[in-house]
Amino acid sequence: MIRLIPAIDLKDGNVVRLYQGKGDEKVYSRNPQVVARHWKKQGASMIHVVDLDGAFTGEPKNLPCLKKIVKAADIPVEFGGGLRTMEMIRTVLGLGVARVVLGTRAVEDREFLRECRQEFGDKVIVSIDAKNGIVMTQGWQESSSRKKAAVEFALELKAMGFGEAIYTDTSKDGTLRGPNITAVEGLLSGAGIAVIASGGVSSLDDVVALSRLEAQGLIGAIIGKALYEERFTLKEALNLLKTKRKEGI
């Protein structure tokens, strides 16, 4: 069964959601640690935390909140947003984070990525953030310098020894318009790397649609706005997948 990972996006210490990674900010909670405990009670086995301030500025700005989340959740937490130096990665892992998520620096500096893989191993996962199949950087605001295709980047990660990656369709994130199933399928078949899909999940039907890609290598889905807007609960989604698995669907 694919893993369903609730997202906590931090901005100015609050739990928020943005539309396509920019604008239309909506605050859902001013107590991130309370949200983390809620997701654990709902059955989460991991929480995906993003420092939006860090993604835009290039350096994490919500580490005090992260520390509280890690303590409150008491389940693995992955964290990304502005992690662009080895020292900062060490700092974040020192807070008890299970693994860090790299974006911009991983795309732009291959030697840095190799060093991260060598020192931190599976405690590092790369997020392939793409729009129209092209990798985006700088908080999703700019395309990669060489207009790198998502599949091309995934193949490079695989060659370096990375066994899995996060894939986010930035045009879908926060829109509640459904995930880009075609793009996820293309990445799975074109790169042969395990993928955690992110962006656009709006309903239980979307969760089921993604789960059907498990045989092709999809291992998880990150869900944000749909949960905060109460389109469904995490517990409902997990129970549905368990039922589908028993039925062989």
* Residues noted as catalytic: 9, 129
Residue 68: other Cβ atoms inside 10 A: 18
Cα distance between residue 28 and residue 149, in whole Å: 34
Determine how β-strand 47-51 pairs with β-strand 14-19. Answer: unpaired
Rounded-to-integer distance, Cα 168 and Cα 180, Å = 9
According to DSSP, residue 139 is labeled T
The CA-atom distances, in angstroms, between 94 and each of 49, 91, 138, 243 are: 16, 5, 25, 38
- Whether 220 contacts 213, CB under 8 Å: no
> What letter represents residue 29's amino acid?
S
Q: Are 49 and 10 in contact (CB under 8 A)?
A: yes
**CA distance to 10, 91, 161, 226, per residue, from 64 (Å):** 11, 12, 32, 26
- Helix (H) or strand (E) holding 153, with range, is helix 150-160
Element spanning 90, H or E: helix 86-94
